[in-house]
Structure 1
Amino acid sequence: MTRISTVVRGLATTLAALLAVTAASVPARATPEPVAPPDFVALHRVDPTIIQEIRYFTPHNFVGEPVDGYRQPLCILTRPAARALRTAQRELLRQGYSLKVYDCYRPQRAVDHFVRWAEDLDDQRTKPEFYPNVDKSRLFADGYIAEKSGHSRGSTVDLTLVKLPARPARPQHPGQPPAPCFAPKDERYPDSSVDMGTGYDCFDTLSHTLDPRIQGEQRANRLLLKNTLEGLGFVNLAEEWWHYTFKPETHPDTYFDFPVSRSSLTGRH
């Protein structure tokens, strides 16, 4: 009996080893990348005249590096939001202006990147430009960073105005220290837009759309953008002059995570 037990145990060990080798040799299946629902579109397909400067695809943003999920400099939105922007663009073109979008649909993985950055209090690289008057430990409490964003639902857009004919922004001088985002327009980061009083993504109360300290041409520019968009169903976030959401939202309760890329639109079934 002892010899039989030894043989059985040996066979079992051999079989287990063979199964382990077989399992290791089978390649793991990659998790398929999420794709956009069919009611999401590339803005340039709806209106190619709207200027796009997708900041989170570039290193010039408050994180200081390209943001997770932005694989191409592309504006993706729900179709109703994109069509409403097309109508706004037609109105503005008649007045000698164009819309310019900085950000549109934003994947959840990008929001997660923002959260990781905000929690890293040692990373202060972008403070002189984007949040000079705010302690980084206050970014969550003061509402500048959150774990969820309306952008991930697909009907929110960050945008500004450009006076036509559009001219390229002046070049950024290499090695030039960044000016605060609320500095005079000629001093802060070069941007082809009209003067809105602050740059995009400026973490400061001066970015509040109707802040009483913003007057003259800067206030008129903000109101032109606000009145045009609100007349077409967009709602402004009062704390950010650039932030608008088209209502009613197509996906009011869903936060998507497909990448910002053409393949997210072409690869869907």
Structure 2
Amino acid sequence: MKQAPDGFVRLRDVDSSILEDVRYATPHNFTGDPVPGYDEPMCVLTRPLAEALHRAQQQLVPEGYSLKVYDCYRPQQADDRFVEWAQNDDHRMKDEFYPGLAKSELYSAGYIAENSGHSRGSSVDLTLVRLPAAPQRPYVPGEPLHPCTDPVGERFPDNGVDMGTGFDCFDDRAHTDDPRITGEARANRDVLRDAMTSVGLQGYSGEWWHFNLPDEPFPGEYFDFPVNSAAFR
């Protein structure tokens, strides 16, 4: 069993109040299957990023919000699986995650990559949830899919606030500053961005949910230890 390197922590050990909805450990992701390397639905991060999220959570809770993470450290084998998936003919999840694109376009459009900052443990995908947090309905494999670009109430019922699209939505509307996102969804994106930048994180213009730790401890490295509790024994 591969062990997590020194410098990585489980988010729950730094701040157990932050909600975790680790989608790649479940079938509810663009591949339609649990992703290799995600043995447990658990958020693992470098300690500086986990501590930054803790500081943001301390700011947000008094305002009636909690953070909810979708993806944290990602084993390299998961990115390898994404590249493999992008080249096969499995289109089960198209109607939700890439309704306006051909699967063959996802790699060239930058939605799928061979390497990711997630595999260095210093990138995180997350949203905001209004407190008290409503239960998150589980995804049922085979259930009817609805485009991630549909209005809130019509797309998959995430318990997070309305951000204008669902998570991992391969569409221009997911771009942080897409002008079609207005009103409450725009305000919610601004709250998330302001909280993240206030603790030193940087957003990514192509995905409203993605933030990076600029001064990361493992630049240029891509780890492949599994996401499970045994990696921390």
TM range (shorter): over 0.9
CA distance in 2, matches of 1:165, 1:196: 18
Alignment of 1:251-262 (within 5 A): 251-262=218-229
Is 1:138 matched with 2:108? no
Counterpart among 15, 34, 53 of residue 85 in structure 1: 53
Change (3 A) 1:36 1:89: same
Instruction: Confirm or deny: 8 A CA contact 1:78 1:154 kept in the other structure.
Output: yes
Name the counterpart of 1:76.
44
Name the counterpart of 2:148.
181
Q: Give 4+ residue runs of structure 1 displaced > 3 Å after superposition.
A: 169-176
Instruction: Confirm or deny: 8 A CA contact 2:75 2:119 kept in the other structure.
Output: yes
Instruction: Confirm or deny: 8 A CA contact 2:28 2:139 kept in the other structure.
Output: no
Alignment of 1:235-250 (within 5 A): 235-250=202-217
Instruction: Confirm or deny: 8 A CA contact 1:181 1:198 kept in the other structure.
Output: yes
Cα deviations by residue, 1:155-184 (Å, 9 ceiling, x for unpaired): 100000000010113566886421100101
SS in 1 for 2:199: coil
Instruction: Confirm or deny: 8 A CA contact 1:51 1:101 kept in the other structure.
Output: yes
Displacement of 1:106 in angstroms is 0.1
Name the counterpart of 2:159.
192
Is 1:64 matched with 2:35? no
Query: RMSD of aligned C-alpha atoms?
Result: 1.3
Aligned partner of 1:55: which letter?
R
Higher CA-based Rg: 1
Instruction: Confirm or deny: 8 A CA contact 1:171 1:190 kept in the other structure.
Output: no
Name the counterpart of 1:43.
11
Is 1:114 matched with 2:76? no
- Structure number with the higher helix fraction is 1
Name the counterpart of 1:205.
172
Is 1:217 matched with 2:217? no
Is 1:162 matched with 2:129? yes
Aligned partner of 1:242: which letter?
W
Aligned partner of 2:185: which letter?
Q
SS in 2 for 1:94: helix
SS in 2 for 1:227: helix
CA distance in 2, matches of 1:239, 1:169: 26
SS in 2 for 1:255: coil
Displacement of 1:46 in angstroms is 0.2
CA distance in 1, matches of 2:125, 2:39: 18
CA distance in 2, matches of 1:172, 1:158: 19
